[in-house]
Amino acid sequence: MRFRYHQPIPNFYNIENPIEPLTTISNDFLDEFTEIAIASMFAGLSYSKLNDEFKKEWGIDWDNIIILKYHMSSDILKMEPSKEKCKLMDEEFQEYGAKAFALADILRENGFRADLINPLDDRVSLRAVAMQSNEAIITRSNMCMFKEGLNLGFFMIKTSIENLPFKTVNELEWVGDYCSTCGVCIDRCPEKAFDENGKFLRKLCTAHREGCSKCIDYCPFYKRGYDKVKKRYGRMKK
């Protein structure tokens, strides 16, 4: 299981999928949908187009994905790993999950097929789907980071919409090089979840078992934000 402390989210759909779903969304409606998502406290949207190779690898037959990103609460992340912390993280997850269902309903109401991908279903890696957006990168500490922040959770909607603004180039690829010069997460990890070459050791990391998030707290991307770290990286490379 990826989210050991998360409980399944109840089914909150109020609207059925359309029988003949639309495949094209207007810019105006996509803007409106984005505004509603932001008003629901999501940090932003990304889009993944899953190619045939990816679909074959994961045994899926869907391809157009809307990623709804939310900021995990800093107050919760700063807590020491505990049952209480895991409970609060799950409550936050449930709250955003309910909002994600409501957003899927808005798409259904407007003629599009929209289904939430079950975030607890291990058959497909949501991180792998996130990487297909070309707006995410896996940091050295194994976090799936978007520009909006390191402390992001996300829900995903698979949809009939074919003309979402999919990105084809990943602007975050420099992050791997930056991580190779940093290593703060290695020094701060209480579980020593990195090998002698600084490679992350999933089995030792307690993030998804006990809610550890120490490496987020100390990471420059969290402390300073993506743009500032990028500027610093630019100066380093001069």
Q: SS3 for 137?
A: strand
CB of 102 to ligand SF4, least distance (A): 31
In the complex, least distance from residue 134 CB atom to ligand SF4, rounded to whole angstroms: 19
Task: Considering the complex, state which of residue 51 and residue 82 has its C-beta at the smaller distance from ligand SF4.
Answer: 82
Where do contacts with ligand SF4 occur on this chain (CB under 6 A)? 139-141, 178-179, 182-185, 189, 191, 193, 205-207, 212-215, 219-221
Report, in Å, the least distance between residue 217 CB and ligand SF4: 8
> What minimum distance in Å lies between the beta carbon of 215 and ligand SF4?
3
> Residue 130 CB, nearest distance to ligand SF4 (Å)?
16
Residue written as token pair 């690829």: 173
Nearer to ligand SF4, 81 or 111 (CB): 81
Give, in order, the Cα–Cα distances in Å from 231 to each of 22, 145, 152, 159, 238. 42, 17, 21, 36, 11
Question: Minimum Å distance from CB 85 to ligand SF4?
Answer: 12
| Residue number with CB closer to ligand SF4 (35 or 84) | 84
Minimum CB distance to ligand SF4 smaller for 161 or for 216 = 216
Torsion of Cα atoms, 171 then 176 then 178 then 182, to 10°: 150
Q: Which is nearer to ligand SF4, 22 or 184 (CB)?
A: 184
> Residue 160 or 213: which CB sits closer to ligand SF4?
213
Helices and strands in the chain: count of H runs, count of E runs: 11, 6
The residues near 205 (Cβ < 8 Å, ≥ 6 apart) are 142, 189, 191, 193, 212
The residues, any chain, with a CB within 8 Å of residue 153's CB and separated by 6 or more, are 69, 70, 71, 72, 92, 93, 96
Q: Dihedral of the CA atoms 143, 56, 4, 223 (nearest 10)?
A: 10
